[in-house]
Chain A
Amino acid sequence: QQQVRQSSQSLTVWEGETAILNCSYENSAFDYFPWYQQFPGEGPALLIAIRSVSDKKEDGRFTIFFNKREKNLSLHIKDSQPGDSATYFCAAKMNYNQGKLIFGQGTKLSIKP
């Protein structure tokens, strides 16, 4: 049972475009949704996160849009750059400060120069 799903295994966009990575979840009790970024040879690192009380979270070029009713969220990467090429994991947690992270399978993003 896949509780967190990412709609694309891979995504390619041109440099300067906005990359949109989609994620959906099943459990309405999930309260906290981080996105992790992973470069080859490295561990996943927290990029940006949102709690279910918000519908948008912005940090520089990265924005999360969250739809609680539809149980989905998306990560938008504005003005994408070759250095953004990485695997992005959507994750979910029931309690924002404790408990386990449930991950999606990841989306490998490639930015073409």
Chain B
Amino acid sequence: DTTVKQNPRYKLARVGKPVNLICSQTMNHDTMYWYQKKPNQAPKLLLFYYDKILNREADTFEKFQSSRPNNSFCSLYIGSAGLEYSAMYLCASSRRDRGTEVFFGKGTRLTVV
């Protein structure tokens, strides 16, 4: 099974409210990533876990949190959603010793109103 699962597929949130997105994989991948994709823009890496070590991009450091309670699960947390957070959020995973392929989930479309 080479799938990365994301829940939910669609999420509606109110401005100022928290949002939690979930991702899972059963490929025993050591690295899990979260990307943000807006229309006509490149997918933008927000953060990634290598094993239990979280790496956050400098320009999104304050805006997103994440946790990885075990190897299979990873969450993306927004403490207070703003309109600018409306986007597709893509989770992905890979394994360092198994080559270069990064596997993506189908995404969660977040709409903040």
Binding site for B on A (CB under 8 A): 2, 4, 9, 32, 34, 36, 41-46, 49, 89, 93, 96-98, 100-106
Contact = CB atoms under 8 A, between A and B. Distances in A.
A77 to B, nearest CB: 20
A17 to B, nearest CB: 25
Interface of B: 4, 31, 33, 35, 40-45, 48, 50, 90, 92, 96-97, 99-107
11 contacts: A2-B42, A43-B92, A43-B107, A44-B90, A44-B104, A45-B104, A89-B43, A97-B99, A98-B96, A103-B42, A106-B42
Contacts of A100: 33, 45, 48
Contacts, number: 54
B100 A42 contact: no
